[in-house]
Structure 1
Amino acid sequence: MSSTTTSSVTLNTGVQMPLLGLGTYKMHGSEEVYRAVDAALAAGYRAFDSAAVYRNEADLGRSLRELLPKHGLTRQDVFITSKLGPKDQGERAMEGALHSLSQLDLGYIDLYLIHWPGTQGLAVADQSNPGNRAQSWATLEELHGQGKLKAIGVSNYTVAHMRELMQSCKVPPAVLQVEFHPRLCQAELKSVCKEYGVCFQAYSSLGQGDLITDPVVLEVAKQCQRTPAQVLLRWAVQQGVAVLPKSSNADRIQENARLFDFTLSDTDMDRLSALDCGQKYCWNPSGVA
């Protein structure tokens, strides 16, 4: 068994979620998805992250149905995440979630997230956003109760959004997925997640590729005889943060999986964390009402 399959975090539902998953953002076409999933399964990945807005849920589901038997695996051996699109926030949440379930066609979704705290078509400051979020969450709670969504969570929520949700929810979120890397350490958000027992999960761990050329990252990587990407991913998982590196290159997929056979020193961890400057490379949800 690959070491990647044994490295996981326990969600507040009691379920184990792998610390390493394959991100599929910008992965398009059945052939590209199939090749990436095949390489990932061979490298020990057991988690796959998609979203309605990625428009690849059907290709991911089809690839898994075809490839799991090839790798001696069953549906229960993999952890699938998808997300509700901002256009379906609010009264269309049921339609959106059921569409994701249908597109993936894997029986159930292990983790389903509200992708964004706002609503497509509304201004970020629109006061309808909180009500739409609450309606979406109630829908996810209903589908969770039916067993169609094994765990539910949120993505791109701020501290304020998290506190708002925790005050009103019947089922607490299992995961918060946000941008996280040494230049964006999200200390307050991590602390809130710890307070509420919510798993903190990272996306854009490489800063959209910008961080792999950072001098500190390069120096640590040279000392460890690892790639800059491995160092950045290890920095996260060593803090118990789940990661979702995205690549459709088979060699890079395999390379990114080698996170669990080395450890960064406390000094190196501190040096990397000292790069924190609040820099966001992706969506900034801070203005969403």
Structure 2
Amino acid sequence: MSVNGHVKGHKRLSNPNRLWGPEEVYRAVDAALAAGYRAFDSAAVYRNEVDLGRALKELLPKYNLKREDVFITSKLGPKDQGDKAMEGALHSLSQLDLGYIDLYLIHWPGTQGLAVNDKRNPGNRAQTWATLEELHARGKLRAIGVSNYTPAHMKELIQSCKVRPALLQVEFHPRLCQTELRSVCEEYGVCFQAYSSLGKGELVTDPLVMELATNSERTPAQVLLRWAVQQGVPVLPKSSNPDRIKDNARLFDFTLTETDMERLSALDCGQKYCWDPSEVV
């Protein structure tokens, strides 16, 4: 199955942040597999690739699943941009220890230790992408993509790459609709994937979101996730709570009305709750 088909067609769990320990990762993965999740998102900077890999190797047999039944995404850390990219990617492969990575992303367009306006950033991105292309050709990275890229970063990459990015993962929610970025992805056939769909929790108390949740007898989180999914945007819900993991998967048995969708989209104000890559040259 293609990356686009896999991320849109399967329940996904955004892997726990780096503060989670092995036991919590194990419990979250167990609950996710039980709820039907088959895709998991991690990153070098989360510092839990080892824990995710170990949990999956122990738990897949419990659910009569094999390695090829799950889809693993991880990301290269900003410190490994440029000439350290090969070492960083191979380290992720070793940490996960699952044979290959289904989707590997450049986590950030800049390089750790360089100023956002440092003119070495574009060259480092290009060198990093060439490294990922090499590992993709060797079958170690089944698909490659990027995260936190702007329209300018995307166009720069598309113009120079041999292998087009399969996916772009960015912050996306009603207060940050990313219209231009989605248009660029559509033009070049890149899957657009959302993270931070709840705006770091800020949006679950938005009056409109709460109103729609009450009207539809759903949670505010489900309304926000459904808003993205209903537009064809795959999401990355993150939780260690088994009940919330189940709730976050229940997005396909209700719909928002066209008016509801329009009202939510009207909240767009360009608000970023995570990182702002727009200043990275």
Q: TM-score, normalised by structure 1?
A: 0.95
CA distance in 1, matches of 2:266, 2:257: 14
Residues 1:251 and 2:243 are matched in the alignment: yes
CA distance in 2, matches of 1:270, 1:16: 27
Larger fraction in helix: 2
- The residue aligned with 2:13 is 22
**SS of structure 1 residue aligned to 2:235:** coil
Residues 22, 49 of structure 1: 8 Å contact kept? yes
- The structural deviation recorded for 1:11 is 3.5
- The residue aligned with 1:128 is 120
- The residue aligned with 1:215 is 207
Alignment of 1:62-101 (within 5 A): 62-101=54-93
The one of 224, 228, 243 equivalent to 1:232 is 224
- The residue aligned with 2:186 is 194
- The residue aligned with 2:258 is 266
- The residue aligned with 1:181 is 173
1:115 maps to a residue whose letter is H
Give the count of matched residue pairs: 279
CA distance in 2, matches of 1:20, 1:161: 29
CA distance in 1, matches of 2:268, 2:11: 23
Residues 204, 210 of structure 2: 8 Å contact kept? yes
CA distance in 2, matches of 1:172, 1:125: 25
- The residue aligned with 1:3 is none
CA distance in 1, matches of 2:280, 2:255: 38
CA distance in 2, matches of 1:159, 1:26: 27
Q: Note the aligned Cα RMSD (angstroms).
A: 1.1
1:16 maps to a residue whose letter is H
1:217 maps to a residue whose letter is V
- The residue aligned with 1:6 is none
- The residue aligned with 2:279 is 287
**SS of structure 2 residue aligned to 1:154:** strand
How has the CA–CA distance of structure 1 residues 105 and 243 changed in structure 2, closer, same or farther, with 3 Å as cutoff?
same
Alignment of 1:2-151 (within 5 A): 10-11=2-3, 16-17=6-7, 18=9, 20-27=11-18, 28-151=20-143
**SS of structure 2 residue aligned to 1:92:** helix
Question: What per-residue deviation string (whole Å, max 9, x for no partner) do you get for residues 218-250 of structure 1?
Answer: 111111110000000010011111111111111
2:271 maps to a residue whose letter is Q
Residues 1:152 and 2:126 are matched in the alignment: no
CA distance in 1, matches of 2:3, 2:91: 25
CA distance in 2, matches of 1:20, 1:209: 21
**SS of structure 2 residue aligned to 1:272:** helix
1:279 maps to a residue whose letter is Q
Runs of 4+ in 1 over 6 A off after TM superposition: none
CA distance in 2, matches of 1:11, 1:244: 14
**SS of structure 1 residue aligned to 2:115:** coil
Unaligned runs of 5+ in 1: 1-8
CA distance in 1, matches of 2:161, 2:10: 26
**SS of structure 2 residue aligned to 1:153:** strand
Residues 16, 25 of structure 2: 8 Å contact kept? no
- The residue aligned with 2:162 is 170
CA distance in 2, matches of 1:56, 1:162: 28
CA distance in 1, matches of 2:12, 2:92: 19
1:255 maps to a residue whose letter is D
